[in-house]
Amino acid sequence: MDCSLVRTLVHRYCAGEEECVDSRTVYVGHREPPPGAEAYIPQRCPDNRIVSSKYTFWNFIPKNLFEQFRRIANFYFLIIFLVQLIIDTPTSPVTSGLPLFFVITVTAIKQGYEDWLRHKADSAVNQCPVHFVQHGRLVRKQSRKLRVGDIVMVKEDETFPCDLIFLSSSRVDGTCHVTTASLDGESSHKTHYAVQDTKGFHTEEDIDSLHATIECEQPQPDLYRFVGRINVYSDLNDPVVRPLGSENLLLRGATLKNTEKIFGVAIYTGMETKMALNYQSKSQKRSAVEKSMNVFLIVYLCILISKALINTVMKYVWQSEPFRDEPWYNQKTEAERQRNLFLRAFTDFLAFMVLFNYIIPVSMYVTVEMQKFLGSYFITWDEEMFDEETGEGPLVNTSDLNEELGQVEYVFTDKTGTLTENNMEFKECCVEGHVYVPHAICNGQVLPAAAAIDMIDASPGTGGREQEELFFRAVCLCHTIQVKDGDEADGPRKSPDSGRRCVYISASPDEVALVEGVQRFELLEILSFDSVRRRMSVIVKSATGEIYLFCKGADSSIFPRVIEGKVDQIRSRVERNAVEGLRTLCVAYKRLIQEEYEGICKLLQAAKVALQDRERKLAEAYEQIEKDLILLGATAVEDRLQEKAADTIEALQKAGIKVWVLTGDKMETAAAACYACKLFRRNTQLLEVTTKRLEEQSLHDVLFELSKTILHCGASLTRDNFSGLSADTQDYGLIIDGAALSLIMKPREDGSSSSYRELFLDICRNCSAVLCCRMAPLQKAQIVKLIKFSKERPITLAIGDGANDVSMILEAHVGIGIVGKEGRQAARNSDYAIPKFKHLKKMLLVHGHFYYIRISELVQYFFYKNVCFIFPQFLYQFFCGFSQQTLYDTAYLTLYNISFTSLPILLYSLLEQHVAMDTLKRDPALYRDIAKNALLRWRVFIYWTFLGVFDALVFFFGAYFMFENTTVTSNGQMLGNWTFGTLVFTVMVFTVTLKLALDTHYWTWINHVVIWGSLLFYVVFSLLWGGIIWPFLNYQRMYYVFIQMLSSGPAWLAIVLLVVVSLLPDVLKKVLYRQLWPSATEKVQVPPRAPWAPSLERGAGKVWVWKCGQSTVTNEFHDDVVKTWFYT
């Protein structure tokens, strides 16, 4: 009996857990390997069904309820509702249950609808037809039925249904071209390569006869990383092992281009594909406003408990006197007399909690959620933020951070593609110290007879000609460009030697710019570019059999590996170009003999087939190969600034926002760009913490010297005084590179890890701008995190356009992606996406300003109106013997937050504009008025709370003194407690609604309809509720109450007087503050024009122009008519 299968199963499922976790084996076409190979084990992988939905038909209700009751406010009201059901409380369970049911239902409907849309989208994807290869022929099935190991055929312009290992294509060379726009937004064509031993299988019969197994890593979300190997079996020989990398992997969602068809084997399916793993939800970010809401909620919860305790204690103090606890008309039973005192006190405490629980605004959460969701459309609808050139508009990936856009204190921006266009133009190259430009230039004029690339200095001579030829060969060969004829993907180009239309397609615009400026070689190896090495190499073989290694990369990565060449001259030219803001690359080479090349092949093959630590082994191999180089020269290309990038940065600085540039470019190039975009001004004194300076001084000395320089000159630039500096004001700019930052972040030898960081932060706080150059992607995130968790806890925003910016975008409080030439990965991982950097100005200074103003008013107003609502109920207990008698009717308790006062504040929070948009854009300094969560500070919160308490005192005692010993009806009848409560409630509804009307600056017809309509609805509802005997009610205590109250003249007088008295303090406070201590915003606010007092402007002839708000009408007057309007 063959025990190999049993041993393998025991090893894999019992002892070999590491193998099961770290790698998987895929059998191509589900064919068992030949005898003697590894035993065949059935695969346990998911099908190809994509599930982006959150719920199913069966789990929607329990799962949604569980998620909603995880919110503390919802859970609190659920507890109150259960208490009302269990014990005898003064209010009906409906008063708590109905608002809670409303909030839960609205949220559930919204989430259910969104999930239903996801179900529809999933169904369309899962039922898409796919061509399988089975038994040597094509079979068409639904995509969801695809399994790992199936062989799939994909035709041109079709998307890949899952992650595939590329086996063969219709091209003879075994390549295919792919666009990944739906994954990372890159529209350029990427070249993928079939497995060397399978690229000859061009038919279904051939591919079905393939015997192979694939060993690869378990699914992980990195789009640009894949490690695996394929074992191809033959009948006679041992299996051939070939390495598999990202160049052999075709990702789900990518599209096949310029290739008739390809065959591939499914390696990851369904929710294990890289696309699905990348689309999973990111960590939740919470805004400062939401944090303030939760703190205020805790404060009001403490107030609620205090009220309940006070009333409970006062009840038993009051009942301690004889006959108060047991009056003659309400004798207790024997069971009630024997009841435990502490149990009675606890029950009374719960009853008071139920009575006062409306001070916690449960409907505030659903209103805030609706405001954020609906308000986010104002960004996507903004036509000024639509870019005609790219056809892209702004995107909102999360609406939870809208108001955070109005609180930003630090902006961290990438340079290339964010501040610049990422559109490279070849400017010059330097070979052996000789400079070449695209056209010969004399006195600033381009010579008409100049060749494509000409020298501008002396001839290089015979020896230099060879180096010149090698340089241009290196530029033409050391790249990943594809040349296409008649393809308009990236725009038409002219080839240097023919009139045919051709296109250079590459993932890097630098390469296109270089290759456009300039014997056939055989490509042997590519040492791919990565952000750590900052270089790439190719190994090529010429027609004469010579083997070359050409290497290009950043000067910092090339110069240390050079042993020959005119290093000093080329370094000088590179530094000069960098100061001018040009992007530079250095080019080097070395000749290889056959033995060296064979050793390199073995070294690379051993690293490529490794399943464990392949990246590290490849990096070590590249380090050994790319050394002892001969320097050829350097290139310079220009990356122009984006339109209005300088104006945007200047506006942000005037708004009190500090702007930091984080880039991987060298210091001189980045500094020149910072001057061009006005981050640094002509009078800015630059402070450097760079590797070059640290070679001369220790880090400790450098930091302390800079600190003394800033403090000695008294240049402490806080948020209030550093922005908008005049040309004569001395300010400082800091430049730091990645190596210096690593030293600052590294713990000191004495164990004190924070001293350098704090000193560095002190220096940064006193600088108007900071430039971080030579930054790796993770270092960008480290900088953001360092500022984010500093002692001031400022709100940070990160903006970038490439995959290397994703880490800082995710780290910042607000992440914004730019849809640029480096793809959509930044936009996909961001909270918001915009087409160009210039749109950041309006997003922060206008939309962010409005969002914060609106939602801060919403939060404060909700707490204010609930204090007005419940505090009279608290006062009423002192006049009813603490009997837990409710002041308001059940209907009023239930509908106050749901119907009577909810819609006006929702519309206010969507439409309010306290200052015109043009004013906010013209005067960025207004942004500082709302900085540091200004409208939700404790001082403002306490003012709103005390305003609510004052208004509640006016409502209650105003009505109380009017009712005391007074006949208020014509027939001499006294009004009862329900009329008293209705009067208080009526005054309250009118007061809180008119308070919002007084706070409204931007009136539209919608505001008028909602505000006056809500008051009208309250009156109509009260007339119907008290004017009809409702058969479903077991009580009729409100019958004729509201009508009787309105029939009383003193009641009308009380309503008017109490509303005026309640609103008067707030009006007086605003008038005094505007006159004595006006804010910058109040200074620019124009008083709203009264609709009944239009201004008159003299027109031509006898035409007068009447202006009223936004409308303009004309009327003709006779000459003898004089009409004068007086308007103050």
Supply the residues annotated as catalytic: 414
- The sheet carrying 769-773 orders its strands as 395-396, 832-834, 814-818, 796-800, 410-413, 658-662, 769-773, 731-737, 684-689
Alpha-carbon distances of 615 from 196, 226, 506, 557, 774, rounded to whole Å: 21, 10, 23, 19, 22
Q: Answer whether 876's CB lies under 8 Å from 887's CB.
A: yes
C-alpha to C-alpha distance for 80 and 77, rounded to whole angstroms: 5
Q: How many helices and strands, by DSSP H and E, does the chain display?
A: 39, 39
C-alpha to C-alpha distance for 317 and 877, rounded to whole angstroms: 13
Q: Quick check: helix, strand or coil at residue 476?
A: helix
C-alpha to C-alpha distance for 862 and 867, rounded to whole angstroms: 9
Q: Which of 204, 201, 199 is nearest to 176 (CA)?
A: 199
Q: Answer whether 41's CB lies under 8 Å from 12's CB.
A: yes
Neighbours of 647 (CB within 10 A): 13
Angle at 58 between CA 56 and CA 59, to 5 degrees: 70
Ramachandran assignment for 1035, one of left (phi > 0), alpha (psi -120 to 50 degrees), beta (any other): beta
Question: What are the DSSP E strand ranges found in 603-697?
Answer: 629-641, 658-662, 684-689
C-alpha to C-alpha distance for 89 and 862, rounded to whole angstroms: 25
Q: Which of 843, 808, 818 is nearest to 662 (CA)?
A: 808
C-alpha to C-alpha distance for 899 and 903, rounded to whole angstroms: 7
Instruction: Give Dmax over CA atoms of the chain in angstroms.
Output: 125
Neighbours of 824 (CB within 10 A): 25
C-alpha to C-alpha distance for 204 and 997, rounded to whole angstroms: 74
Helix (H) or strand (E) holding 420: strand 420-431
Q: Which of 254, 251, 248 is nearest to 159 (CA)?
A: 254
3-state DSSP percent of the chain in helix, strand and coil, to 5: 45, 20, 35
Q: Quick check: helix, strand or coil at residue 1077?
A: coil
Neighbours of 430 (CB within 10 A): 26
- For helices 594-608 and 614-625, the axis angle rounded to 10 degrees is 170
Paired tokens of 485: 């004829």
- Beta-sheet pairing, 796-800 with 814-818: parallel
C-alpha to C-alpha distance for 726 and 724, rounded to whole angstroms: 6
Backbone phi, then psi, for 678, in 5-degree steps? 65, 20
Q: Quick check: helix, strand or coil at residue 526?
A: strand
The label of the residue with tokens 């939870």 reads: 400
Helix (H) or strand (E) holding 774: none
Instruction: Please name the residues in contact with 659: beta carbons below 8 A apart, sequence gap of 6 or more.
Output: 410, 411, 413, 649, 652, 653, 679, 769
Burial of 651 (0-12, 13-18, 19+ CB in 10 A): buried
Q: Quick check: helix, strand or coil at residue 186?
A: strand
Burial of 526 (0-12, 13-18, 19+ CB in 10 A): middle
- For helices 902-911 and 849-876, the axis angle rounded to 10 degrees is 160
Angle at 1010 between CA 1009 and CA 1014, to 5 degrees: 115
